[in-house]
Chains A and B, each alone.
Chain A
């Protein structure tokens, strides 16, 4: 069974631009969560989607948004990028009702 895939793996953007990251969950998994990992703040929860609905949201500004499609694939968008948005963005999927979350390799975003 294929694991969680994330595209792109690496991204370089400049301040003020916007970016869209993609996540394809494990087949059959309907829950997708996003996390931001930085050296200073560690791993922080962004949001979780289940059946195309945002079910939980972390403490991030409105510049961070996401969505989920009917095939459970998810995207997250960051608008008006800031230098502090440079991070590894991790996506995780889980089967409905199971708390085991399986992570993708991440997208490393560098904002210049």
Chain B
């Protein structure tokens, strides 16, 4: 079946540091890949997505590239801010007519001023 493996947290960084959160996946076919963010007390917000190999998703300074050869979708940001503190989830949807999102375990990110 499908699975998503995410970098273990928590991750603590200083403001303006470079961020990488690793994500690898196992899926049949060509899944669509997503990063969601969850702020305290809230639901999930779609941060970015990629639907085919070599696609780069980007939003709010965050980027992730769909790498089929390494089955990875790592999240990066060049300069993090305190407001980026949240839990980040990597997820996929299989390409076979099933709209179920399979999530990673989530990575809690804390940015220190």
Whether A33 contacts B99 by the Cβ 8 Å rule is: yes
Chain A binding surface SS class:
strand
How many residue pairs link A and B with beta carbons under 8 A? The number is 52
Q: Which residues of B contact A99 (CB under 8 A)?
A: 32, 49, 51, 93, 99
Chain A window 74-112, contacts with chain B (Cβ cutoff 8 Å), 1 for yes, 0 for no? 000000000000000010101000011111111000000
Whether A43 contacts B103 by the Cβ 8 Å rule is: yes
A35 to B106, CA, bound (A): 15
Whether B100 contacts A48 by the Cβ 8 Å rule is: yes
Q: Which residues of B contact A31 (CB under 8 A)?
A: 99
- The number of residues on chain B lying at the interface, defined by a beta carbon within 8 Å of a beta carbon of chain A, is 21
What is the distance, in angstroms, from A47's C-beta to the closest C-beta of chain B? Answer: 9
- A55: nearest chain-B partner, CB-CB: B99
- Asked whether any CB of chain B lies closer than 8 Å to the CB of A56, the reply is yes
Q: Which residues of A contact B102 (CB under 8 A)?
A: 45
Whether A105 contacts B46 by the Cβ 8 Å rule is: no
Contact of A42 among B32, B45, B103 (CB under 8 A): B103
List, sorted by A's number, 12 A–B pairs whose CB atoms are closer than 8 Å: A6-B43, A33-B99, A43-B101, A45-B100, A56-B98, A56-B99, A99-B32, A99-B49, A99-B51, A101-B46, A101-B99, A101-B101
Residues of A near any B CB (own CB < 8 A): 4, 6, 31, 33, 35, 42-43, 45, 48, 55-56, 58, 90, 92, 94, 99-106
Residues of B near any A CB (own CB < 8 A): 32, 36, 41-46, 49, 51, 89, 93, 98-106
